[in-house]
């Protein structure tokens, strides 16, 4: 009892601390002061009256949403004496692996920089600044010579690192057989099995209505869809984050989705947010970063060639270039096992006073990174709002897909979950694929790293991301990946090579996520 | 008769030929006995021209109506629609209702258009009312964006002035006739780009009107960002969405071909604008297609040997109002991307399934009422026979906004016109 109480007060203290520095706090203060003018506020019962006022005017709801948002994002403190690294990642061997992976990436970036003799960052001359400002809405038409740039890494490079992860304290003397894990990932992490998954994802059960299935033309709308839409509108009217998160587990109606996601992520476009985005834009205009070219190249290679997203090419530049310069993103490294790479001012290598984070937001984009943003363009067409939503999605979910950690939503756990599900429930298929040299994870890894963006039709993808938001977890990606294999199992049993297996699974666009 | 269908075509496109061959039909030449002729528009002119006296027999069908140009020539389409509106007005039909400024409430779906040189003076009068407007000049008889240009000054079209002393061309020649329409300079933009909609509509008979809409239409995007700036009036990459033009642009991409499916468009609009306005937009699109067909139905030679698959070009403006730009009798069967090829192949496949039932030797006397199962990706857009069974006043009630039920946009009764709220 005592432990729980002290845990709770610790959490409360932490959240209060965080919120005190936020915009909401000053707004609440101002509202409280202004409310003193109101006739219903009496000196004798000042505290209760103000609280009542907050409740009626909707400010209490906003505060509630903010608290809920913090709870969703920040991990619970484990032990008061735990050092900050533990918050990032409790297991030492994982931290070490992440550290060496980061060194590799940075080395690759630096050597590209030296090879091409391009500085990591430089200030743009005034003429160039003006030009860029004019072209801000159509950067896609720019055709810089990107042939010498290569993406810093691709998902398959990352997979190799994960395959070689080992826990030094774990000695599995057994030879590989069906009693051990036959997949590529060989670390002993706890993942959920089907009964646990069923319990966790109870709203996805067969007896509960879902959008994406129960709103198809064959099903009369009175059965589920109409009621579901009505509830959605009510949730939006109430502006309740937690309710929205619960609601969206059954899928979001297309017309309500943009607002629901903003509510769940606790994003409201305040003037300060627009200003902040404009400030980032100015940073882009004034300075040119090497990663900008990486971003350009990535967009040109991926989103520009995509049937659904090519239309939004220019939005992608506007979001990603600003994202690289956003130092507020650095705060998520407190709970991300990764750490932002450091670079040194020219000539001052090793001197800490001259160290800066590079890129300013600490995130080095890899091949396919722009696909995290692309689906959001279907929902938001105002650049600063699009930006905010993407940033929040990144610091809540996407970062876990490309950093090494033991978190249940981290990519390592997702891979293990996928392989375990497949090995347990489709052993014949798993064995067959392994025999022909087509380990299933080699095929599904890229789907999960990109959260299926670019692999599913957009309407299906958005339904999938509804569930990620609803359950505040990425485990559903692994479950979907396993389900895809199950769905195509018959064809897969007949293939005899990795290439053929890839071909069978190449086109997921017709799959309806059920 | 269990003979194989004999086909001829003068359009050498694989999407056609593959479809014929997969049905086991036999290719013949046009001088032999044929059952099915997929002809180009030039050929149809010859077949039905008075001089040749060609008589089609009961087991022969062709893919064009003899005087399809009433709908597919830009000037005749506008003429027929104007005539149709006037007729409805004379009858006192509520469909021809107008608002305070004299604009048609339900039938204003073609941008203001004049024929040149015939209506030159009328045009000048209109032009002077809003001198900052932009107008688009289109040659009546051409396609694929050929010969189109934009003007914003009267001097740019001095040639077509009837009084012009320098007019040196023969104004009676059909080839040189132009239409000039008010340019829609506020198109709906997505990702900053202009696009138009290409929808396929199959008409099996005009009287009674029976038409089908292909569910898989697509949007064609310009490769360059849209700007109404006058300095870019000459840049056809900004303004004309025809693939024939766009594919010569620097940024043309051969993987997606600058095309989006209509379902993508729907998803985007529902997500960013809401479901009601999106459904209303699509309803309006169906409405204007049916109205355009009704407008030409009385003058169309409803030859029982004919069916036709039209390519409708529609532009949506930033107030989500659809505008009918033109109708093509011979929509391109060239494929610009892999997806395109699949789409056009399926289009022809479904068209043939409806026009030549069971793939057997056709008999023109059949009632042209295919069962629901063969429609494939087509949906019934409007069936006059079925509609007349329901009473005509439903038509106006829904036009005036009273919904017919919770799902006004999609009727669930099987066999009924699925896409219309009005009968």
CB B205 within 8 A of CB B306: no
The three-class DSSP label of residue A357 is strand
pLDDT at residue number B305:
87
Q: Do A255 and B270 touch (CB under 8 A)?
A: yes
d(CA B235, CA B346): 34
d(CA A446, CA B391): 57
pTM comes to 0.84
**Nearest CB partner across the interface for A314, out of B191, B258, B264:** B191
Q: What is the pLDDT of residues A18-45, one digit of tens each?
A: 777 777 777 888 877 887 777 777 777 7
DSSP result, A295-332: HHHHHHHTGGG-TTTGGGHHHHHHHHHHHHT-GGGGGG
Residues near A162 by Cβ (< 8 Å), separated by ≥ 6?
A: A184, A185, A404, A411, A412, A415
The distance of Cα B273 from the centroid of its chain, to the nearest Å, equals 26
Residues in chain B closer than 8 A to A220 (CB atoms): 412
Residues near A476 by Cβ (< 8 Å), separated by ≥ 6?
A: A201, A464, A467, A468
Testing the interface with B: which of A256, A260, A299, A307 to mutate, by most B Cβ within 10 A? A307
The alpha-carbon gap from A317 to the nearest alpha carbon of chain B, in Å, equals: 12
DSSP result, B306-332: B-EEEEEEEEEBTTS-EEEEEEESS--
Does pLDDT of A210 surpass 70? no
Q: Do B271 and A310 touch (CB under 8 A)?
A: no
CA distances from A112 to A106, A350, B35, B85 (A): 10, 20, 67, 68
CB A474 within 8 A of CB A400: yes
d(CA A50, CA B144): 68
The alpha-carbon gap from A296 to the nearest alpha carbon of chain B, in Å, equals: 15
The distance of Cα A30 from the centroid of its chain, to the nearest Å, equals 34
Does pLDDT of A241 surpass 90? no
Residues near A22 by Cβ (< 8 Å), separated by ≥ 6?
A: A66
The alpha-carbon gap from A258 to the nearest alpha carbon of chain B, in Å, equals: 7
N- to C-terminal Cα distance for chain A? 42
CB B242 within 8 A of CB B144: yes
Q: How confident is the model at residue A117 (pLDDT cuts 50, 70, 90)?
A: confident
**What is chain B's Cα-based Rg?**
22
Q: Give rounded-to-5 percent helix, strand, coil for chain A.
A: 60, 0, 35
- B251 or A415, higher pLDDT: A415
Spatial CA neighbour of A376 closest among A493, A267, A228: A267
**Nearest CB partner across the interface for A308, out of B224, B258, B264:** B264
For the packed helices A254-264 and B262-273, what is the interaxial angle rounded to 10 degrees?
A: 50
pLDDT at residue number B417:
34
Tell me the β-bridge partners of B391: none
d(CA A77, CA A87): 7
Q: How confident is the model at residue B421 (pLDDT cuts 50, 70, 90)?
A: very low
pLDDT at residue number B284:
94
Q: How many CB atoms lie within 10 A of CB A31?
A: 15
Q: Do A253 and B275 touch (CB under 8 A)?
A: yes
The alpha-carbon gap from A311 to the nearest alpha carbon of chain B, in Å, equals: 6
The alpha-carbon gap from A302 to the nearest alpha carbon of chain B, in Å, equals: 11
Return the minimum-mean-pLDDT range out of A324-338, A403-417, B132-146, B264-278.
B132-146
Return the minimum-mean-pLDDT range out of A108-122, A490-504, B137-151.
A490-504
Both tokens of residue A33?
């002061």
Does pLDDT of B398 surpass 60? no
Closest residue of chain B to A311, computed from CA coordinates? B191
Q: How confident is the model at residue A153 (pLDDT cuts 50, 70, 90)?
A: confident
pLDDT at residue number B416:
31
A–B interface: beta-carbon pairs under 8 A? 68
The three-class DSSP label of residue B368 is coil
Q: What is the pLDDT of residues B78-93, one digit of tens each?
A: 899 999 999 988 888 8
Q: How many CB atoms lie within 10 A of CB A499?
A: 9
The three-class DSSP label of residue A208 is coil
Residues near A229 by Cβ (< 8 Å), separated by ≥ 6?
A: A253, A256
**Cα torsion A261, A264, A266, A268: sign:** positive
Spatial CA neighbour of A419 closest among A205, A186, A196: A186
Per-residue pLDDT, averaged over A122-148, amounts to 81
CB A453 within 8 A of CB A469: no
Per-residue pLDDT, averaged over A354-361, amounts to 80
Phi, psi values for residue B315, rounded to 5°: -115, 140
Q: Do A379 and B272 touch (CB under 8 A)?
A: yes
The number of C-alpha atoms within 13 Å of A445 and in the hemisphere containing its C-beta is: 22
Return the minimum-mean-pLDDT range out of A409-418, A429-438, B166-175, B318-327.
B166-175
Q: Do A254 and B267 touch (CB under 8 A)?
A: yes
Burial class (CB in 10 A: 0-12, 13-18, 19+), A363: buried
pLDDT at residue number A79:
61
Q: Do A378 and B410 touch (CB under 8 A)?
A: no
CA angle A494, A496, A498 (to 5 degrees): 115
Does pLDDT of B239 surpass 70? no
Testing the interface with A: which of B188, B189, B190, B191 to mutate, by most A Cβ within 10 A? B191
CB A447 within 8 A of CB A507: no
Residues in chain A closer than 8 A to B260 (CB atoms): 307-308, 311
Residue with tokens 């009328």: B122
Closest residue of chain A to B255, computed from CA coordinates? A305
Both tokens of residue A247?
């609601």
Strands B6-9 vs B26-27: parallel, antiparallel or unpaired: parallel
Percent of chain A beyond pLDDT 70?
84
CB B118 within 8 A of CB B178: no
- A327 or B140, higher pLDDT: A327
**Nearest CB partner across the interface for B268, out of A221, A307, A378:** A378
Q: What is the pLDDT of residues A478-509, one digit of tens each?
A: 988 888 888 887 777 766 666 666 666 655 55
- A93 or B401, higher pLDDT: A93
d(CA B23, CA A418): 45
Q: What is the pLDDT of residues B245-283, one digit of tens each?
A: 666 665 666 667 788 989 899 999 999 999 999 999 999
CB A245 within 8 A of CB A238: no
Percent of chain B beyond pLDDT 70?
78
Spatial CA neighbour of A268 closest among A459, A63, A52, A57: A63
Residues in chain A closer than 8 A to B250 (CB atoms): 143
Tell me the β-bridge partners of B315: B323
CA angle B277, B278, B284 (to 5 degrees): 85
Percent of chain A beyond pLDDT 90?
17
Closest residue of chain A to B277, computed from CA coordinates? A255
Q: Do A306 and B256 touch (CB under 8 A)?
A: yes
Cis, bond preceding A359 (omega within 30 deg of 0): yes
CA distances from A48 to A27, A39, A61 (A): 19, 14, 16
pLDDT at residue number A507:
57
pLDDT at residue number B311:
93
Residues in chain B closer than 8 A to A381 (CB atoms): 272
d(CA A129, CA A126): 5
Closest residue of chain B to A461, computed from CA coordinates? B267
Does pLDDT of A196 surpass 80? no
DSSP result, B26-81: EE--TTS--SEEE--HHHHHHHHSTTT-----TT-EESS-TTTHHHHSHHHHHHHH
The distance of Cα B87 from the centroid of its chain, to the nearest Å, equals 22
The continuous run of DSSP H or E covering B210 comes out as: strand B210-214
N- to C-terminal Cα distance for chain B? 38
Q: Do B251 and A314 touch (CB under 8 A)?
A: no
Residues in chain B closer than 8 A to A378 (CB atoms): 267-268, 271-272
> If interface means Cβ-Cβ distance under 8 Å, which residues of chain B face chain A?
190-193, 221, 224-225, 250-251, 253, 255-256, 258-260, 263-264, 267-268, 270-272, 274-275, 278, 339, 406-407, 410, 412
For the packed helices A313-324 and A271-286, what is the interaxial angle rounded to 10 degrees?
A: 90
Q: Do B267 and A226 touch (CB under 8 A)?
A: no
Both tokens of residue B334?
């060239």
Q: Do A255 and B274 touch (CB under 8 A)?
A: yes
Residue with tokens 């059960």: A205
CA angle A387, A391, A396 (to 5 degrees): 150
The distance of Cα A270 from the centroid of its chain, to the nearest Å, equals 23
Residues in chain A closer than 8 A to B221 (CB atoms): 311
pLDDT at residue number A141:
72
**Phi/psi-derived region of residue B292, left when phi > 0, alpha when psi is between -120 and 50, beta in every other case:** alpha
Q: How many CB atoms lie within 10 A of CB A463?
A: 23
**Nearest CB partner across the interface for A459, out of B267, B275, B278:** B267
Residues in chain B closer than 8 A to A143 (CB atoms): 250
- B363 or B248, higher pLDDT: B363
Residues in chain A closer than 8 A to B271 (CB atoms): 254-255, 257-258, 378-379, 462
């Amino acid at each position: 009892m005592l432990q729980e109480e002290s845990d709770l007060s610790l959490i409360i203290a932490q959240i209060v601390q965080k919120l005190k520095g936020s915009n909401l706090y000053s707004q609440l203060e101002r509202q409280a002061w202004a409310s003193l003018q109101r006739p219903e506020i009496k000196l004798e019962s000042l505290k209760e009256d103000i609280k009542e006022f907050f409740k009626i005017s909707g400010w209490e709801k906003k505060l509630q949403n903010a608290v809920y948002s913090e709870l969703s994002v920040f991990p619970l403190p484990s032990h008061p004496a735990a050092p900050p690294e533990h918050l990032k990642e409790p297991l030492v061997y994982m931290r070490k692996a992440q550290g060496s992976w980061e060194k590799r990436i940075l080395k690759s970036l630096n050597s590209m920089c030296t090879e091409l003799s391009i500085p990591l960052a430089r200030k743009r001359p005034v003429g160039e600044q003006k030009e860029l400002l004019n072209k801000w809405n159509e950067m896609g038409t720019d055709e810089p010579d990107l042939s010498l740039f290569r993406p810093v890494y691709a998902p398959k490079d990352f997979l190799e690192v994960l395959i070689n992860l080992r826990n030094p304290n774990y000695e599995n003397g057994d030879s590989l057989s069906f009693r051990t894990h036959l997949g590529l990932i060989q670390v002993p992490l706890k993942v959920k099995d089907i009964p646990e998954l069923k319990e966790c994802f109870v709203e996805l059960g067969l007896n509960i209505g879902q959008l994406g299935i129960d709103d198809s033309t064959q099903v009369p709308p009175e059965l589920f869809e109409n009621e579901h839409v009505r509830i959605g509108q009510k949730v939006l009217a109430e502006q309740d984050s937690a309710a929205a998160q619960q609601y969206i587990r059954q899928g979001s109606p297309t017309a309500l989705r943009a607002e629901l996601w903003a509510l769940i992520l606790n994003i409201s476009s305040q003037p300060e947010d627009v200003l902040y985005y404009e400030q980032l834009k100015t940073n882009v205009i004034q300075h040119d970063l090497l990663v900008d070219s990486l971003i350009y190249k990535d967009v040109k290679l991926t989103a520009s060639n995509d049937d659904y997203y090519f239309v939004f090419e220019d939005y992608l530049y506007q979001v990603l270039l600003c994202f690289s310069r956003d130092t507020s993103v650095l705060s998520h490294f407190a709970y991300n096992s990764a750490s932002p790479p450091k670079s040194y001012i020219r000539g001052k290598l090793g001197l800490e006073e001259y160290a800066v984070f590079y890129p300013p937001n600490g995130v080095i984009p890899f091949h396919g990174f722009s696909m995290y943003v692309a689906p959001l363009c279907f929902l938001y067409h105002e650049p600063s709002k699009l930006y905010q939503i993407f940033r929040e999605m990144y610091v809540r979910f996407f970062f876990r897909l490309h950093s090494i950690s033991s978190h249940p939503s981290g990519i390592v756990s997702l891979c293990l979950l996928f392989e375990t599900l497949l090995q347990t429930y489709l052993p014949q298929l798993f064995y067959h694929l392994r025999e022909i040299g087509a380990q299933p994870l080699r095929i599904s890894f890229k789907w999960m790293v990109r959260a299926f963006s670019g692999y599913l039709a957009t309407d299906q993808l958005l339904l999938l991301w509804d569930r990620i938001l609803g359950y505040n977890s990425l485990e559903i990606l692994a479950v979907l990946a396993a389900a895809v294999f199950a769905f195509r199992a018959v064809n897969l049993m007949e293939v005899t090579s990795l290439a053929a297996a890839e071909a069978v699974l190449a086109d997921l666009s017709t799959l309806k996520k059920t | 008769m269990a003979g194989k269908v004999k086909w001829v075509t003068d359009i050498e496109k694989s999407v056609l030929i593959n479809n014929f061959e997969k049905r086991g039909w036999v290719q013949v030449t046009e001088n032999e006995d044929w059952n099915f002729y997929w002809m180009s528009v030039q050929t149809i002119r010859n077949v039905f021209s008075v001089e040749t006296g060609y008589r089609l027999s009961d087991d022969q069908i062709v893919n064009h109506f003899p005087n399809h140009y009433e709908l597919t020539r830009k000037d005749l389409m506008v003429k027929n629609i104007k005539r149709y509106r006037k007729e409805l007005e004379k009858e006192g039909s509520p469909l021809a209702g107008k608002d305070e400024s004299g604009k048609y409430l339900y039938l204003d779906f073609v941008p203001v258009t004049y024929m040149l040189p015939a209506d030159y003076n009328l045009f000048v009068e209109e032009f002077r009312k809003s001198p900052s407007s932009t107008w688009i000049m289109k040659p009546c008889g051409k396609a694929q964006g050929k010969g189109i240009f934009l003007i914003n000054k009267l001097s740019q079209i001095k040639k077509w002035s009837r009084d012009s002393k320098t007019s040196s061309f023969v104004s009676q020649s059909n080839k040189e006739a132009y239409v000039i329409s008010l340019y829609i300079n506020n198109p709906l933009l997505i990702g900053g780009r202009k696009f138009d909609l290409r929808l396929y509509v199959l008409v099996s008979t005009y009287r009674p009107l029976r038409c089908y809409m292909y569910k898989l239409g697509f949007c064609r995007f310009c490769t360059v960002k849209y700007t109404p700036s006058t300095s870019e009036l000459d840049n056809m990459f900004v303004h004309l969405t025809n693939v024939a033009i766009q594919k010569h642009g620097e940024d043309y991409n051969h993987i997606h071909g600058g095309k989006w499916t209509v379902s993508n468009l729907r998803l985007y609009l529902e997500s960013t604008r809401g479901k009601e306005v999106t459904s209303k937009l699509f309803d309006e699109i169906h409405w204007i297609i049916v109205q355009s067909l009704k407008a030409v139905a009385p003058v169309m030679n409803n030859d029982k040997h004919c069916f036709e698959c039209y390519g409708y070009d529609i532009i949506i403006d930033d107030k989500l109002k659809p505008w009918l730009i033109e109708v093509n009798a011979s929509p391109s069967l060239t494929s610009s991307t892999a997806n395109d090829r699949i789409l056009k192949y399926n289009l022809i496949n479904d068209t043939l399934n409806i026009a030549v039932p069971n793939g057997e030797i056709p008999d023109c006397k059949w009632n042209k009422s295919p069962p629901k199962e063969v429609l494939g990706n087509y949906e019934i857009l409007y069936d006059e026979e079925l509609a007349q069974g329901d009473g005509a006043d439903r038509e106006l009630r829904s036009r005036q906004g009273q919904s017919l039920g919770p799902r006004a946009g999609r009727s669930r009764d099987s066999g009924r016109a699925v896409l219309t709220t009005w009968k």
